[in-house]
Structure 1
Amino acid sequence: MWLNDFNFDSYHRTQVTILMWYEPYGQPNNPSEDTSWVRNCTPRCKMVQQRSLFPTADLVVFHNFELIMRRQKLPVDLPRPPTQRWVWMSMESHVHNGDLRRFAGIFNMTMSYRRDADITTPYGERLAKEAEGDDPVEDVARNKSFLACWVVSNYKSYHRRSQVYKELSAIIPVKVYGRWARKPLSSKALLPTISRCYFYLAFENSESKEYITEKLWKNAYQSGAVPVVLGAPVKDYEAVAPPHSFIHVEEFASVKELAEYLQQVAGDHKRYSEYFHWKRKWKAKAQKDWRENVCNNICSQFDHLPPNKVYTDLAAWVQATGNGTI
């Protein structure tokens, strides 16, 4: 395949240009139109969406959703510069990435929330505070009106999270919002609404390695509700989340046991407050703007990116529970 002829041994740039071939989840671009926005991430690194810059771009990023939905095509008909690297980007769990076998031998690197991706772009991160603060948790239970709440739009009865919710709500009250419950929340109302709950069901739409989204980083942490999580394994949450800041469904032998635990903790101010002690040393940052997230992560990691990599089996890497075959 033509990618095998590429040689990155002497690859180095004093100025780096990242070309985003199209906007993630956006409307299909007209190839004849040249989008003009430019984001300067660092003095030596910028991200653009001007396709006319393809011949001089150091990296070209392709978002997987548009590829698998056939909304966009790879520019395989264009002469590809010998040192240009193509980046496959996806923020979805592996079960929602489609059939990737047709992309064998095309991409040089991966961009994903996964820590074993070439470029890691998490939905959020824990950051150490410069100095340990005073106890910030004395009023954590103030203005709490509901034991647990859940915001969900994509409800499927066969989803594990739906089954857990059904069992849980038969034992304890769970306030449900979102399109499925016909109680949609505006972006302005989202966090204030969740803040009135002791616990927030931060249930992901699939159980996948390291798939931990804004449900934890934004909905729970920024609202001030303790997240009850389901999705990635416990060890994945422990690796990235502040210590003792969440409750994982898998830590309980049954949903009934989980329900009893939530009731006990909510009824004990001291035990409930302990789930906020992490705020003394840590803060949780949720990623907001996709441009900032993509641009900053590529620019900060650029000098350490692998120079001679080609994914001969992208599908195997995406499906892998560890490092995939490359």
Structure 2
Amino acid sequence: MMSNKNITKRQTNAQFCYFHSTLMGSSIRCIAKWRKTHLQPPKTLLVLFLAISFIYSWLLVVNKQQHLNGSNASLPNNITILLWHWPYGTRYSLAGDVCLKDYGISGCVLMDNRTLYGSADLVVFHHFELKLHKQHLPVHLRRPAKQRWVWLSLEAPQNNGNLSPYNNLFNLTMSYHSHADVTVPYGKRLQRKKPGLDFIIPKNKSYEACWVVTNYQKWHKRSAVFQELNKNLNVQLYGLSAKKPLPKEALLPTISRCYFYLAFENTQSPQYITEKLWRNAFQAGTVPVVLGPPRRDYEAVAPPNSFIHVDDFKSIKALAEYLRGLTKDPEKYNAYLNWRQDYMVKLYTDWRERLCNICPIYRQLPTQKVYEDLRAWAKW
């Protein structure tokens, strides 16, 4: 019979092998050494050690693979954002650490897998699909105590429809408007570190003005302004409404041939300034004629002396005369493009970037907020 001392010694050696073996191979070597030193262990104990070593090694491989794939949602300091449904049905890849790789934002994990709902810090819902009843809120699921729901819309309030069904459900708002908890503009100006000499004013100006429009409605203010302006100015009309659609690659080159672009918003609402200004006009290298919120809202975000506001003129005829005069005076016309030496324009078009930008301000967001009347918030 084996003494208690020998039994204790064998148990100690076995525990040493278990705790200090990190991979399957080292575990087997440790067991072999132990068997050589002592008597043949029972088969069940050997099988147990081999099984534990195999499972532990397998977990190490899985964890390494998850790290390589960017599956780091479970790390303690990460902020996890679940996008419940993709805006307008267009899905983008979330493979890898998207926020760090593409936007230099660490500790921010984006997910669109609804089975991970319980682990999300924030769940973002795009309103357009909710309004059309193409998507629905998961009100049947238990919401974790620290989880917050985010209402996302980049539409003007008049176009959001009835918001009363969403009262007492959302904790945060995400919109282009500066009053939102998370502000996501369509674009912004950036100060150049050095004077920019890379922009060359297009010389191929063939038309006085142009307008790309998909949603043409007679009752829109912009439609009436266009009709009056077109009586006194040569305006080229493009888009689905004009039965002259432009493919994506032809959009900016076509607009660049015009002296002016009609950056007319479909709705006049505070701070509602869309890609019509940032992309269609500024990126095409033309001068925008804007119709939307008041001049002060444009001045707050656009480069100085970079646009012409419809409201500055006593009549549309007077506006047309002013624009035509600029086409004949290169010095005055180019003055509306000189801002490019000191500023450049950044567009926000990728929903992933918009979501990633939540993370740097996450700690400053309110933690106990609930929108009892979402409609009241949207009335600016």
TM-score by length of 1: 0.88
Name which of 98, 106, 110 aligns with 1:40: 98
C-alpha displacement of 1:39: 5.2
Question: How far apart are the structure 1 equivalents of 2:239 and 2:134?
Answer: 28
| Counterpart residue type for residue 85 of structure 1 | R
Name which of 129, 138, 150 aligns with 1:87: 150
1:140 aligns with 2:201: yes
Aligned position for 1:164:
225
Residues 202 and 285 in structure 2, CA contact (< 8 A), matched pair in contact too? no
Aligned position for 2:362:
302
Once the two structures are superposed, residues 193-226 of structure 1 have per-residue CA deviations (whole angstroms, 9 ceiling, x without a partner) of 0000000001011101111111110010010010
What SS class does the counterpart of residue 200 from structure 1 fall into? strand
**Residues 117 and 206 of structure 1: CA distance in aligned 2, closer, same or farther (over 3 Å):** same
Once the two structures are superposed, residues 219-274 of structure 1 have per-residue CA deviations (whole angstroms, 9 ceiling, x without a partner) of 10010010001111111110000000011111111101110110111110100010
Higher helix residue share:
2
Residues 38 and 46 in structure 1, CA contact (< 8 A), matched pair in contact too? no
Aligned position for 2:5:
none
> Which one is further off, 279-288 or 37-46?
37-46
C-alpha displacement of 1:140: 2.6
Residues 113 and 211 in structure 1, CA contact (< 8 A), matched pair in contact too? yes
Kindly report which structure 2 residues correspond to 1:163-312, keeping only aligned pairs within 5 A, or say none.
163-295=224-356, 297-312=357-372
Kindly report which structure 2 residues correspond to 1:94-109, keeping only aligned pairs within 5 A, or say none.
94-109=157-172
C-alpha displacement of 1:100: 0.1
C-alpha displacement of 1:300: 2.2
Question: How far apart are the structure 2 equivalents of 1:191 and 1:89?
Answer: 28
Residues 87 and 111 in structure 1, CA contact (< 8 A), matched pair in contact too? yes
Which structure would you say has the larger Rg?
2
Kindly report which structure 2 residues correspond to 1:50-65, keeping only aligned pairs within 5 A, or say none.
50-65=113-128
Residues 150 and 175 in structure 1, CA contact (< 8 A), matched pair in contact too? yes
Higher strand residue share:
1
C-alpha displacement of 1:293: 2.1
Once the two structures are superposed, residues 72-116 of structure 1 have per-residue CA deviations (whole angstroms, 9 ceiling, x without a partner) of 111011010001000000011111101001111110010001111
TM-score by length of 2: 0.76
Question: How far apart are the structure 2 equivalents of 1:127 and 1:76?
Answer: 41
> Which one is further off, 297-306 or 89-98?
297-306
1:316 aligns with 2:316: no
1:121 aligns with 2:179: no
What SS class does the counterpart of residue 125 from structure 1 fall into? strand
C-alpha displacement of 1:130: 0.7
> Which one is further off, 161-170 or 245-254?
245-254
What SS class does the counterpart of residue 149 from structure 1 fall into? strand
Name which of 107, 115, 130 aligns with 1:67: 130
Aligned position for 1:111:
174
| Counterpart residue type for residue 274 of structure 1 | A
Question: How far apart are the structure 2 equivalents of 1:97 and 1:140?
Answer: 39
C-alpha displacement of 1:161: 0.3
Percent identity over the alignment? 52
Aligned position for 1:130:
193
Residues 94 and 110 in structure 2, CA contact (< 8 A), matched pair in contact too? no
Question: Larger RCO: Structure 1 or Structure 2 (Cα < 8 Å, ≥ 6 residues apart)?
Answer: 1
| Counterpart residue type for residue 59 of structure 1 | L
